[in-house]
């Protein structure tokens, strides 16, 4: 059971933009469609029905069947793939990079949020089918972001090179990596399960896309998860008109730039290019730019006339890859999608895209912040109770936690605010005296007030520092606990790999998370394992 939960807004780990989105601030309402509540999905379904081209369903089903040809399908995944051919079937989608062995823990939370939301929707709207989709980011090319994971504080890195779309990258060479990782896992029953999953995924599949599909399927097949690799010529045929529009008119740049102006009070997540497309081959993914009447592939000698690039688009659409601005549009064209589930950073860039979707007349999906989780052992929960720490305390910055704990543990008050208030009252009298006698005296009074308040501030700091030394043992226990729960003073879900917790819980881990996570509640869950 969750030991506790705190709101995203009070966790200290979400941006002002996400806070304002969750609170549905009026200034942001033009930047999204329907806010994600169970009731609002009815409106989203109607809009998507009216706007989605059902002719795109059969190519989607056909491609998925081909991609799953070498994987043992669960009955629920098979049924979900077949259901995508039906006009009353809709999807909920999350996307994630092809991180080695799933990367950080939040990979699980994204997918579980997606699975759980489809279950809630089916209960609320039983006449429709809802399919959870994991969109693999197979066309990304930033290999340095995905070639490692952390296990028990150690970084395990795959030393290989990749210049093209990572989904096409060969898994050759991971045998040596596996040998090192296997030694760290040990020889318990759960460790052997993890070794088997890794070997089956990465040592028996030829590229990173197929390996990641196997991994995600092995973890979530029984929940009916459907895993999609959209780096596919048959899927991109539906996207041809939008690629052509981008090459000719650069409408995405204009629309997103206008939205960025409206978001000037916030940190901008992504900035659009004039053309938001890449040219890809197995070992190449580079931006398409337009210069001197020619379409050129950046950092290469490849170039096309207008006719040549549009002929290539018709014959080989798989050579055109959407960037972060265009990928969401591609997703919403080929999927009957209702909602995208992502982290705070992802939702922030989706909020830049609504006007672009309006321009090309495609329904904008609902945007939902994925579940966030802190996993704590019973021993850690007991420590927190013994130290009289709340979860809000443990989520706070370490310096603030230490200062607060020092003040609470001190047998006398370290807060000199009452003395400062008395001092300020005394100076009020001196200001009155100055006004009645010589107003030039006011400056001297002000200078003396600042000096004495500063003196009290310095005394308070010295007192706090002295008490920290006296309370060092217990403060060390507090910081040690926080460092266990927040490795590198960051969120556990962004640092640790699922295998660390699978060693302890085994096959119980994912069912426990599925049971506890509620995607529409917008809370940071603390779950005891």
Q: pLDDT tens-digit profile of 373-405?
A: 999 999 999 999 999 999 999 999 999 999 999
Q: Which of left, alpha, beta for 299 (phi over 0: left; psi -120 to 50: alpha)? A: left
Give kind and range of the element (H or E) at residue 441. helix 441-470
**Average pLDDT score over residue span 39-53:** 98
Residue 416 within a domain? yes
* Residue 1 pLDDT: 40
Question: pTM of the prediction?
Answer: 0.92
State the total domains in the chain. 1
DSSP E strands in 307-402: the ranges are 320-322, 337-342, 366-369, 372-376
Residue 113 within a domain? no
219-223, 307-311, 367-371, 452-456, range with the lowest pLDDT:
452-456
Radius of gyration of the chain from its Cα atoms, rounded to whole angstroms: 28
**Average pLDDT score over residue span 57-69:** 98
Cβ neighbours for 146, distance < 8 A, ≥ 6 positions apart: 97, 98, 99, 100, 103, 140, 166
Instruction: Please tell me the number of Cα atoms within 13 Å of 30 on its side-chain side.
Output: 9
How many CB atoms are located within 10 Å of the residue 19 CB? 15
- Looking up tokens 């990596």 gives 177
Give kind and range of the element (H or E) at residue 280. strand 277-281
pLDDT at position 183 over 70: yes
Q: In which domain, by residue range, is 437 found?
A: 377-496
Residue 122 within a domain? no
Kindly report the length of the chain.
529
pLDDT at position 411 over 60: yes
Residue 456 within a domain? yes
Closest CA to 196 of 218, 167, 221, 177: 218
pLDDT at position 192 over 90: yes
pLDDT at position 23 over 80: yes
d(CA 522, CA 506): 27
pLDDT band, very low/low/confident/very high, at 452 (cuts 50, 70, 90): confident
> What mean pLDDT, rounded, does the chain reach?
95
d(CA 124, CA 47): 18
Residue 451 within a domain? yes
Residue 488 within a domain? yes
63-67, 323-327, 457-461, range with the lowest pLDDT:
457-461
d(CA 458, CA 424): 17
Residue 452 within a domain? yes
pLDDT at position 223 over 60: yes
pLDDT digits (tens, 9 = 90+) for 110-119: 999 999 999 9
Residue 61 within a domain? no
Closest CA to 367 of 6, 4, 17, 122: 17
* Residue 2 pLDDT: 44
pLDDT band, very low/low/confident/very high, at 325 (cuts 50, 70, 90): very high
Residue 400 CB burial class (10 angstroms; 0-12, 13-18, ≥19) = exposed
d(CA 98, CA 411): 53
Residue 260 tokens read as 């960025």
d(CA 494, CA 56): 36
Which residue did the predictor score with more confidence, 430 or 314?
Answer: 314
CA 421 from chain centre, in angstroms, equals 46
d(CA 350, CA 362): 14
Alpha helices by DSSP H, listed for 125-263, are 174-185, 189-198, 208-220, 233-236, 240-249, 251-262
pLDDT digits (tens, 9 = 90+) for 78-99: 999 999 999 999 999 999 999 9
Residue 343 tokens read as 């982290």
pLDDT band, very low/low/confident/very high, at 3 (cuts 50, 70, 90): low
């Amino acid at each position: 059971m969750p030991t506790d939960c705190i709101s995203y807004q009070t966790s200290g780990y979400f941006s002002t933009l996400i806070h304002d989105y969750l609170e549905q601030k009026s200034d942001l309402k033009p930047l999204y469609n329907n806010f994600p509540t169970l009731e609002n999905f009815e409106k989203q379904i109607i809009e998507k029905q009216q706007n989605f081209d059902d002719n795109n369903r059969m190519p989607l089903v056909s491609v998925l069947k081909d991609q799953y040809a070498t994987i043992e399908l669960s009955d629920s995944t098979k049924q979900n793939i077949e259901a995508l051919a039906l006009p009353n079937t809709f999807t909920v989608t999350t996307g994630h990079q092809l991180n080695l062995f799933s990367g950080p823990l939040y990979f699980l939370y994204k997918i579980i949020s997606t699975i759980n939301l489809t279950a809630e929707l089916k209960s609320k709207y039983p006449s429709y089918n809802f399919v959870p989709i994991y969109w693999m980011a197979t066309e990304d090319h930033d290999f340095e972001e995905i070639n490692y994971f952390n296990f028990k504080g150690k970084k395990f890195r795959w030393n290989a090179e990749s210049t093209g779309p990572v989904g096409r990258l060969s898994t050759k060479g991971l045998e040596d990596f596996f040998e090192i990782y296997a030694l760290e896992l040990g020889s318990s029953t759960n460790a052997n399960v993890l070794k088997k999953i890794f070997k089956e995924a990465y040592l028996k599949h030829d590229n990173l896309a197929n390996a990641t599909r196997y991994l995600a399927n092995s973890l979530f097949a029984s929940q009916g998860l459907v895993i999609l690799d959209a780096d596919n010529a048959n899927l991109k045929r539906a996207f041809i008109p939008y690629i052509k529009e981008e090459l000719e008119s650069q409408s995405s740049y204009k629309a997103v730039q206008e939205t960025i102006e409206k978001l000037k009070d916030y940190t901008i997540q992504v900035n659009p290019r004039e053309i938001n497309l890449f040219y890809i081959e197995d070992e190449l993914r580079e931006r398409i730019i337009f210069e001197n009447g020619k379409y050129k592939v950046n950092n290469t000698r490849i170039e096309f006339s207008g006719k040549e690039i549009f002929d290539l688009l018709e014959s080989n659409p798989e050579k055109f890859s959407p960037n972060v601005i265009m990928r969401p549009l591609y997703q919403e064209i080929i999927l009957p999608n209702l909602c995208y589930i992502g982290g705070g950073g992802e939702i922030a860039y989706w909020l830049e895209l609504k006007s672009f979707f309006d321009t090309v007349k495609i329904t904008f999906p609902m945007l939902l912040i994925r579940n966030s989780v802190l996993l704590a052992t019973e021993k850690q929960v007991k420590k927190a109770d013994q130290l009289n720490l709340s979860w809000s305390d443990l989520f706070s910055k370490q310096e603030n936690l230490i200062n607060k704990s020092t003040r609470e543990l001190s047998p006398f008050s370290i807060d000199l605010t009452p003395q400062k208030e008395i001092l300020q009252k005394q100076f009020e009298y001196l200001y009155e005296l100055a006004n009645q006698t010589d107003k030039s005296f006011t400056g001297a009074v002000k200078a003396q007030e600042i000096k004495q308040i500063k003196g009290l501030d310095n005394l308070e700091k010295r007192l706090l520092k002295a008490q920290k030394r006296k309370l060092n043992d217990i403060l060390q226990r507090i910081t040690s606990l926080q460092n266990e729960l927040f490795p590198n003073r960051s969120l556990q879900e962004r640092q640790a790999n699922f295998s660390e917790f699978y060693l302890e819980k085994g096959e119980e881990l994912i069912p426990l998370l599925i049971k506890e996570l509620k995607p529409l509640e917008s809370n940071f869950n603390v779950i005891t394992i």
